[in-house]
Each structure stands twice: as C-alpha cells, then as structure tokens.
Homo-oligomer: A and B are copies of this chain.
C-alpha cells in the first residue's frame, strides 16, 4: 500500500527483521484465534460497530457466532474508512485467501467457513507466527498467573500490576494475592513480602518486565512508611478513604522491586477507565489530555537504575515523552498506544522521536494484540509508516544510507527490545 518506490524498498527490507513484540495480551495457552468471531471480537470492532449503532445484543454469550460476525460486518460498512478496517482486511487477505478490497455481508459465510477450516489446522499458530515474522511475544500476566503450561522463551511473561496498585481494596484481589504467595497481606511488611514473592515467581519463570496502566492524574512519590502503613491498615479494613495514597505506596514498592530484580517497568500513562459507562467490553476507556510526565519526575529521579518504558495515550504528550527520553537516561520511548496507534499520529510522533531521542532508547512498536493474527497487520502499518519516514527524513536528505536506515529500523523493532529487556 506504499506508493513511494524508495519507501517500498525500505519496507521490504524492514519486513525481514524478525520481530520481538514487547507488549501484547496474548493468552499463551491459546494464542491464535479459532474463528472469525474471535477476530471480530477484538474490542476495536465491537466498539466501532457499537459506535455506529449496533446494540449489545449480538455480543451476548448465547448468540450464534455467525450471527455476531454478520452483525459486525454489517456495521463495518460505516467504518470502512478506519485503520481498524484495514487491519481486518489485511488479516483476511493474508490468512484467509480473501482477494477483495472490501469484506461485505456477501462474503460472510464463505469467509467464516474458510477461517474456521484454516484455523483448525494444528500448525496454525506456527503458520501465523512465521507469516508475521514474529520470534517472541511479550505477555501481560495477572500477578497470580502460574506461568506454567507454555513456552516462556516464545511467550515472554510480564507482571501486570494494575490490580495490586488500583484494586487492593477488593477482597478478591487480596485473597488472590494470599493464594498466589501464601502470604496474607495484613500490613505493610507482609504486603512487601508478598509482592516480593511475586517478583521472585515471575523472574524465575522468565518474566522480563513489570507493567501497569495509569490514569492521567496519577502522580507517584515516596510515601512515608508510617503514613502508608496506617492507610493500608484502613484499606484492609475496607476503609477506602486513603485508597489513593495506598495506590502510590504500592506503586513505589513495585518500582523498588523492579530495581532489585533488574526488571524494566512499562508505564502506560493516561487512561481513564469506564468513561463511557454503557460501552462494550474494553470499549469504555478514554483519556484526558491534561496530564504531564512532570508527574513522574520524582519516580524517574528516585530510580536511575530502572528503565522506564513509557507509552503515552495522546500525541500532544508525545512531545513530553520525546523530551524526557532525551534528558532522563532511564526513560525509554515505547510504541504507539491505543488512541495514538493511528497512522497520522504514529507518523508525527515517530518523526519527532527519530529527530530527538537517542536511537538506542526507542522501542519502536508493540502489538497490544489479544490474538496472534493481529501482529501482521499492526506491524505492517507501523513498518509502512517507518519506511516512509526513513525515506523522507533520513535517506532522501542523505543523512543515512538505505542500509543505515534499515539498521535503525532493526534497533527499533528488535535490538533495543533485546538489550533493554535482556531477552
């Protein structure tokens, strides 16, 4: 889909770089989709269909998968301009032998059947990984994941900590923590020990990162131990008055363990949860542009040994990210997240990063995918933009040769991930 010859040539070369995807939501025990329904069940399609008028009826558990697919495809005609539609089309063409340029209701039955047949093949997972040139994929594991039953060298564990930081007031989270660690979190010392046990468990199973998503108003600092202990005691007694302070306190503990266990900390900054209350599953979250990386200055100063891989949700904040990545040795720019994972924003955010952040400190892209099939179209989108930016900003102005441009791409797509996460 590139029409610039130089960019096309660069793209072809870039596609040969084996990918290490440093952030996904893949279920390693069930990494690939098993039907078109699982492809179109990705929240991007359900939320866009809902946005143009589909009610949530077709998404109910009892509904026939074909009916759900038909309903989403029917509504897709109203969002066939979006990049998410392109991803779907590219999946159909790359994996399901689809030849057209639009998937319409008329294609539904045949496409459903073809997909089902192909996806049932025993080598489907391998096939998708191979077609996508994906070598390793990072996961997002609940803190109480056993991390057993899958190949952790292919599917790299990663400790997701949102529950610990933002939902420790929930009895369910407390009991999951107790079960996973055999330590009852009764007070600050036992909580610290429990979290430490999680880090031990995860690193022993090959985890390469700790990760969290954060709301726009989060502003971490080192909480006084006594204050924290008091607030935590109240929280464990179901008194949520000082919940925010506990969140900051637990977050700071995580950073301390990242330091001692030498794990990079992925911070995905800026999401407000459940803004659209009646939205579809995973289609309720938005953001507030009034946020600043200045809120993280204390953190970045306190943990010079921890690499913080930062994703931001708005293109406006990307300039803050560029500047922090330029100044702070421990700030790494990471991928193009969610509402900024759209070509016009990727393009301008990427151009700024390439012009001002040391190339060694940039993680180019991650898929954020739930099913393996999305790696190909998402990375292709990024690789096309990268190829065009390298052509226009580096090769044509004779700053880089084509070979040097491809080397830069290799850093962004592979070598930096390997070095920063130590894989």
Contacts and interface: CB of A to CB of B under 8 A. Distances in A.
Interface of A: 1-3, 47-48, 50-53, 78-84, 86, 101, 272, 275-279, 283-294, 297, 300-301, 304, 314-317, 319-320, 322-329, 339-340, 342-345, 348, 351-352, 354-361, 393-394, 396-400, 408
Contacts of A289: 292, 316-317, 319-320
A151 B343 CA distance: 44
A277 B396 CA distance: 39
Given A339-B322, A351-B344, A408-B81, A276 B327 contact: yes
Contact of A51 (B278, B328, B345, B398): B328
B304 A278 contact: yes
Contact of A294 (B272, B294, B352): B272
Given A289-B317, A316-B289, A344-B351, A81 B276 contact: no
Contacts of A1: 397-399
Given A52-B329, A288-B292, A399-B1, A339 B359 contact: no
A139 B300 CA distance: 34
B3 A397 contact: yes
A101 to B, nearest CB: 7
Given A3-B397, A82-B355, A289-B316, 19 more contacts: A51-B328, A52-B361, A53-B329, A78-B360, A79-B360, A81-B354, A86-B399, A272-B294, A275-B327, A286-B293, A289-B292, A314-B319, A315-B319, A316-B319, A319-B339, A326-B339, A342-B352, A343-B355, A344-B393
Given A82-B358, A342-B356, A355-B343, A294 B319 contact: no
A292 B288 CA distance: 6
Contacts of A408: 81
Contacts of A327: 47, 51, 275-276, 279, 283-286
B297 A319 contact: no
A328 B276 contact: yes
A81 B301 CA distance: 26
B294 A277 contact: no
Nearest to A49: B358
A23 B393 CA distance: 28
Contact of A358 (B81, B86, B277): B81
A78 B359 contact: yes
B286 A301 contact: no
Contacts of A340: 319
A275 B53 CA distance: 41
A44 to B, nearest CB: 9
Nearest to A359: B81
Contact of A329 (B51, B304, B397): B51
A290 B292 contact: yes
A186 B205 CA distance: 68
Nearest to A397: B1
Contacts of A342: 322, 352, 355-356
The 3 closest A-B CB pairs, nearest first, are A79-B358, A1-B397, A344-B351
A358 B78 contact: yes
Given A329-B52, A344-B348, A397-B1, A323 B339 contact: yes
Nearest to A2: B397
Contact of A324 (B84, B286, B348, B358): B286
16 contacts: A1-B397, A2-B397, A81-B394, A82-B358, A276-B297, A278-B304, A288-B292, A288-B294, A289-B316, A290-B292, A319-B345, A343-B351, A343-B355, A344-B351, A344-B352, A344-B355
Contacts of A352: 342, 344-345
A84 B53 CA distance: 39
A285 B328 CA distance: 10
Nearest to A345: B352
A329 B280 CA distance: 11
